[in-house]
Amino acid sequence: MTKKNKPAAPTAPTKELPGNDWEHYRLYKEVREAIASLPIYFRTETHISGIMATDLHTLNTVLGATIEEQVVRTLNLIRNAWDPDEKYTLYSFVRQPQTFPDVLLRKTSSSEILLGIELKGWYLLAKEAEPSLRFQNTAAACDKQDLIAVVPWVLGNVISGSPILFEPFVESAKYAAEYRNHHWQYIRKTKHDTSIEIPQGVSPYPAKSDQILDKPSSDGGGNFGRLARTGMMGAYMEKLDGVQLCGIKTVYWRQFLKAFQESTTDAEARTALKRLKQRVQQATDLPSPKAQSALVIIAELERLLGFTQ
C-alpha cells in the first residue's frame, strides 16, 4: 500500500468507456438499456403486509439482498433484451455476494467474464433521503465496461404490497471510483488530511481475499465512498423526489414516515397525517384514482393508529 499525498488539484477524471471497436460493445450497450428497463419487467413473489409505520424505514436492511437477487433473476429472464441475436447463449448473470463486483456476466462452462455490475438496492422511503451505499473499491479493480447500478424500490401500496422498481442510476464503476477520490481530495471542504491509501497490484474481477479498498487517512464520520454525497447523483435523486406514489410525491411520503419515530406523540402523529392528507386534497394535478388511492392509505393509517372518530 502506498500513501497518496495531496498535490495541487488536478483536472477532474474523465470517463474511460468501452469503444465501439470492442467486440462486445453492442452487448455492453444492450445491458445498460436492459438495466434501465428493469422497472418494466421486474416481478416478485415477495409480499409485505402488517408492518408498523415506525419500521418501514428498515425495509432495505430486511429486503435489500432479496431485491438484488431478484433483479439478477430478472436480467436473465429478459435475455432477449440484451442478447437479441442469441450470440451469448452460454452466458448468464451470476450474483456473487460479499465479492466485488456483486454480479458477473460470465460463461457458464468457464471463468470467462464479459462485464461486472456492482448492484445496490435503495429503499426510496428510508430515513435518509439518499442511498446509503458506500462504494470504496479502487478504480483498478474495475474494467472499462463494469457498471455500478443503484436500483430504487418501494412497496406497491407504499405501506404494504410487493416491491416495485423505479429507474436505476447507472454509471461506469471505474469512473465512479475515480471521481469519488477526486471529490474526497479536492472538492469537499475539510481541514483534515485528504490523502488516500491506494492498494497496489489490483486488477479487475479480484478474488474475495484480495485487498481492493481505497482507504482515506482521515474519515471519522465514515463518509468515504458515499457516492450520493459527491454530487454525482444529485440530479437523479432530485428527479426521484418528484416521483408520485399513489398520487403523492416521494419526498412527502418520506417526510411523513420520518415523523413516525417511536418517540412521536399522538399529537405529532395526527399533525403529520393531517398535513399529508391536505397535500393530496390541495393538489390539482393528481388523477382522481391516484388521489383516492392515497386517501385510502391515509385512512388505513388513521385506523391502525386509532385516530378515527
pTM, full prediction:
0.85
Residue 309 lies in a domain: no
Residue 217 lies in a domain: yes
pLDDT of residue 308: 60
Distance in angstroms (rounded) separating the CA atoms of residues 195 and 217:
6
Count CB atoms within 10 A of the CB of residue 161. 14
27 with 90, same domain? yes
299 with 155, same domain? no
Output 292 or 197, whichever has higher pLDDT.
Answer: 197
240, 263, 292 - which closes a domain? 240
Q: With pLDDT > 90 as the criterion, what percentage of the chain qualifies?
A: 58
240, 261, 295 - which closes a domain? 240
260 with 214, same domain? no
240, 269, 291 - which closes a domain? 240
pLDDT of residue 139: 98
Strands (E), the chain: 2-4, 91-95, 103-107, 113-123, 147-155, 163-165, 169-172, 196-198, 215-216, 244-245, 248-249
154 with 19, same domain? yes
Is the per-residue pLDDT at 284 higher than 60? no
Residue 208 lies in a domain: yes
Question: Across all residues in the chain, what is the average pLDDT?
Answer: 87
Residue 41 lies in a domain: yes
Is the per-residue pLDDT at 47 higher than 80? yes
Look at residues 29, 51, 20, 77 and name the one whose alpha carbon lies nearest to residue 300. 51
Give the chain's largest Cα–Cα span: 69
91 with 51, same domain? yes
299 with 170, same domain? no
Residue 191 lies in a domain: yes
Output 82 or 246, whichever has higher pLDDT.
Answer: 82
Residue 84 lies in a domain: yes
271 with 191, same domain? no
161 with 17, same domain? yes
Q: Cell numbers at residue 95, please?
A: 450474483
Is the per-residue pLDDT at 263 higher than 80? no
Phi, psi of 169 (to 5 degrees): -90, 125
pLDDT of residue 3: 47
CA 92 to chain centre: 22
Residue 235 lies in a domain: yes
* The total number of residues written for the chain in this structure: 309
83 with 8, same domain? yes
User: Helical H runs in 151-287?
Assistant: 173-182, 234-241, 250-258, 266-282
Peptide bond into 163 cis (omega under 30): no
pLDDT digits (tens, 9 = 90+) for 199-253: 999 999 999 999 999 999 999 889 999 999 999 999 999 999 999 887 788 988 8
121 with 145, same domain? yes
- For residue 293, give its domain range: 244-304
pLDDT band at 25 (very low <50, low <70, confident <90, very high): very high
Residue 179 lies in a domain: yes
273 with 127, same domain? no
pLDDT digits (tens, 9 = 90+) for 138-185: 999 999 999 999 999 999 888 888 999 999 999 999 999 999 999 999
Number of domains, the chain: 2
69 with 164, same domain? yes
